[in-house]
Amino acid sequence: MTQIEDHPLRYALANELHARPFPSLETPCHAAFLAIKQPQDAATRDRAADQAHLLDLLDRFGAPHPQPEATHYFGQIGRHRLKWESHTEFVTYTMFSDGVADRPFDPAAFDVFPEDWLAAAPGKRITSALIRVEQQRQADGEIVRRLYEWFVPESLACSSVLDDSAIMASDFRIDPAGHMRFALFVRPDTGARRVGRMVQRLTEIETYKTMSMLGLPRARDLSVRMGEIDTQLSALTADMTGGARQPEQTLHALLEISAELENMLALASFRFSATAAYEALVHQRIEVMREARFEGRQTFREFMMRRYDPSMRTIKSTEARLRSMIERATRAGDLLRTQVDVARSAQNQKLLESMDRRADLQLRLQHTVEGLSVVAISYYAVSLAGYVAYPLADVAGIGKGTLTAVLTPVVVLAVWLMVRRIRKSFH
């Protein structure tokens, strides 16, 4: 067989497709879910601290460590099974346990995470949830009655999922213990891997929903400042036609506004982009559940459409408004620069005309000076020529006045020709 050299990343890329397997869960069971986000952004996040925090938890139960630089871990720790995942901005811990407590959503289920370990987390809790998984043995009416006891009926969302394999429910509210609640009633013939996939989808919906909502406070904060800038921008645009201030002053103010808007967009672009990505994941995770209405209650999709999508539209509209304001400021700056350039061109034209007039005057003055210089030089030249010719005049019997009269036109002509020749040589 012909040997061919593999790309150094071939196996790593292939293994990435299988790096995050779904858990296999037998019903009844329950899960405690925790997502931790560091206060830093994704670029400066300390992944080593997240890894060290995981190892601390594993050491408490004597569990084996994952590979260095691993982004996923699944293993047995004590009587529980832990699924750990490292994402771009956060890490998640999901602890699976067999059986369910008599008290639904007992806060003690979260005690699988040691209290001092939680306090030492390298970040803040972005969300946490308790998930209760039971077999679907009761009638639909009995299930609805229990859901009304466990959740707030006004915001309860429940639906039949995956071709009637299970019923999932939640009110997406934080209970008194500080956790979200999710209930899953599974048909007895549903496989353990499908149950694990459903539980995983529920945790992903909650996590991505929460992460996408982080863009809403940023959008609200920006909206306040954007309103102030919008007023300033409109006033500056009006000044361009009213002439209330000098164009240079208006241009300087526009450049300041453009710089501030660009800085706002640069600081918020990652959050807005992440929000769009998380929103798409939320809808995709709900889509794969293949929801069907259960007992007339709203589905997860309908809940998101009424309660979640308006927040996402607010974030999108804020980003679109910010980009629109940047374009407005840029167009206004371009127009004003054109106006300033036209004004400067007119000033330059006037300056050139003035320089032409001065050059013409200088030329005329030069000609005048040249004429005077011919007279002055001729005066002295005639005197010198007279001194030379006077002795000859006495011999010839010519008077000095007559000799001077004869010499003057000759000398003047010679001087004029000399000056003309000198001027030509310069040109």
Q: Phi first, then psi: give them for residue 228, nearest 5 degrees.
A: -65, -45
Chain center to CA of 83: 33
Are the beta carbons of 120 and 56 closer than 8 angstroms? yes
Q: What is the pLDDT of residue 290?
A: 95
pLDDT at 244 over 60: no
Residue 367 pLDDT exceeds 90: no
pLDDT band at residue 242 under the 50/70/90 scheme: low
Residue 73, both tokens: 């871990």
Alpha carbons 397 and 138: distance in angstroms, whole number: 158
Helix ranges restricted to H, 214-308: 215-242, 247-287, 300-303
Confidence of residue 400 (pLDDT cuts 50, 70, 90): low
**Which residue ranges make up each domain of the chain?**
20-213, 355-426
Q: Which residue has the higher pLDDT, 45 or 35?
A: 35
- 8 A C-beta contact, residue 158 and residue 294: yes
Asked which of 150-164, 233-247, 299-313 is least confident by mean pLDDT, the reply is: 233-247
- Would you state the pLDDT for residue 362? 79
Which candidate, 47, 73, 49, places its Cα nearest to that of 61?
Answer: 73
Tell whether the model's pLDDT for residue 12 goes beyond 70.
yes
Average pLDDT over residues 99-127: 94
Residue 69: its pLDDT value, please?
83
| Dist CA 186 CA 163 (whole Å) | 12
The pLDDT of residue 204 is: 96
Residues 236 and 385: their CA atoms lie apart, in Å, by: 78
Which pLDDT score, from 0 to 100, does residue 395 have? 66
d(CA 166, CA 185): 5
Least confident interval from 164-168, 191-195, 302-306, 363-367: 363-367
Confidence label for 123 from pLDDT (cuts 50, 70 and 90): very high
Banded pLDDT at 209 (limits 50, 70, 90):
very high
In angstroms, the Cα distances linking 160 to 147, 204, 293 are 14, 18, 6
Report residue 346's pLDDT band, with 50, 70 and 90 as the boundaries: confident
Alpha-carbon torsion, ordered 147, 151, 156, 162, to 10 deg: -50
Q: SS3 of 427, please?
A: coil
Helix (H/G/I), strand (E/B), else coil: 95: strand
Please state the rounded mean pLDDT for residues 261-277.
93
Give me the mean pLDDT over the 245-268 stretch.
85
Q: Which residue has the tokens 């500056």?
A: 236
Q: What is the mean pLDDT of residues 330-335?
A: 83
111: phi then psi, degrees, rounded to nearest 5: -70, -5
pLDDT band at 427 (very low <50, low <70, confident <90, very high): low
Max mean pLDDT range (210-214, 247-251, 330-334, 384-388): 210-214
CA pair distance 198, 167, nearest whole angstrom:
10
Q: Distance (Å, rounded) from C-alpha 415 to C-alpha 72? A: 104
Q: What is the pTM of this model?
A: 0.79
Give the whole-number percent of the chain exceeding pLDDT 70. Answer: 92
Contact between 36 and 125 under an 8 Å Cβ cutoff? The reply is: yes
Model pLDDT for residues 173-208, shown as the tens digit of each residue: 999 999 999 999 999 999 999 999 999 999 999 999
Q: Mean pLDDT check: name the lowest of 36-45, 176-185, 393-402.
A: 393-402
Let me know the angle formed at the C-alpha of 95 by 91 and 97, rounded to the nearest 5 degrees: 170
Q: Tell me, what's the pLDDT at 314?
A: 96
Q: How confident is the model at residue 1 (pLDDT cuts 50, 70, 90)?
A: low
Per-residue pLDDT band for 426 (boundaries 50, 70, 90) equals low
Measured in whole angstroms, the distance separating CA 359 from the mean position of its chain's CA atoms is 57
Distance (Å) of CA 267 to CA 41, 84, 213, 311: 11, 30, 17, 20
* Listed range (257-271, 353-367, 390-404) with the worst mean pLDDT: 390-404
The DSSP annotation for 182-218 comes to EEEEE-TTS-HHHHHHHHHHHHHHHHHHHHHHTHHHH
Instruction: Please state whether beta strands 157-161 and 166-170 pair in parallel, antiparallel, or not at all (unpaired).
Output: antiparallel
Is the pLDDT score of 64 beyond 80?
A: yes
Q: What is the mean pLDDT of the chain?
A: 87
pLDDT of 18 > 80? The answer is no
**Closest Cα to residue 73, out of 90, 93, 45?**
93
pLDDT: which is higher, 243 or 267: 267
Report yes or no: 85 and 95 within 8 Å, Cβ to Cβ.
Answer: no
Q: Quick one: pLDDT band at residue 394, thresholds 50, 70, 90?
A: low
Sheet arrangement for strand 90-98: 72-77, 80-86, 90-98, 29-37, 124-135, 180-186, 166-170, 157-161, 292-293
Q: What is the pLDDT of residues 283-311, one digit of tens each?
A: 999 999 999 999 899 999 999 999 999 99
Confidence at 67, pLDDT banded by 50, 70, 90:
confident
The three-point CA angle 165-167-172 to 5° equals: 140
Report how far residue 109's alpha carbon sits from residue 131's, in angstroms, rounded to the nearest whole number.
10
More confident residue, 295 or 376: 295
- Which of 73, 110, 86 shows the shortest CA–CA distance to 38? 86
Residue 400 tokens read as: 């000095």
